[in-house]
Structure 1
Amino acid sequence: MKNKAIYPGTFDPVTNGHADLIERAALLFDHVVVGVASSPSKKPRFDLAARVKMLTLITSHLDNVSVQGFSGLLVDFAKECDAKVLIRGLRAVSDFEYEFQLANMNRRLYPELESVFLTPAEENSFISSTLVKEVSLHGGDVSEFVHPVVKSALEKS
């Protein structure tokens, strides 16, 4: 595919903000690969298979989106997928400095990979996986921040 993008992340848990960015990317690109990073150093609440399964269910209505787990360098995964565009989300100005450094490192490692930044809808701009996990761990209602599949998984874990 000539217009293939990767949207990578740990997605632990996947939030409505993530889903929003995936849908936006699906409108812009012929195919979007949602790359679920194993990220053992982040000690995810859900294992890789569970995160891939949740994202597959959440994106099942999008014909041009696929979900794959990966480990190792993102640039190696991008090459493996033959993707030339990397989608990254920016919620706030504070995200920009880190994302800018990451984009430059990725460009150095894989010059053909271009970073494209998308912003979520305003109602999702404050949602982060970290905040959702914290609210859930303390028994709070996360139903307005995550898909019902994710809410159910959080309640069971």
Structure 2
Amino acid sequence: MAEHPEIWFYHLERSTLDQVLPGLLEKTRERGWRALVRAADQRRLDDLDERLWTYRDDSFLAHGRASEPEAARQPILLTQSAENPNGAQALFILDDAELGDTKGFDRCFIIFDGRDDTAVAAARVRWKTLKDGGANLAYWKQSPEGRWEKAA
């Protein structure tokens, strides 16, 4: 695990979180990494919990909640907490959840809705704060065709 992880901002413009997050989690698992998905809102976690079981007819993403037994064994863990009980290498920050201490993660994803002016403004503040602190940052946005392109 890295002392200073890569921090990637994902600017959602053409797709929703429900459309993008499962694919990012699949790629994370393909790398052999565990994932921690942190949201500030309990209802967001409830929706994700259901979505990850049903997002495709032929597949699902095994996951659990930090509040449930065996949280440490989960390949993908949904939480509101700053703790990393499953030893995840990838941290996904949703909405206005706190990034917290990133030490120990290899990569952090900050995913925000580009159609929400408040979310965009908050992402800009996070970017500036992290950049000023010397973080290793990347900014990803969707092309008109819906592919992800590194823009910074």
| TM value normalised by structure 1 | 0.42
- Tell me: higher relative CO, structure 1 or 2? Use CA pairs within 8 A at least 6 residues apart: 2
| TM value normalised by structure 2 | 0.43
Q: Which has the higher strand share?
A: 2
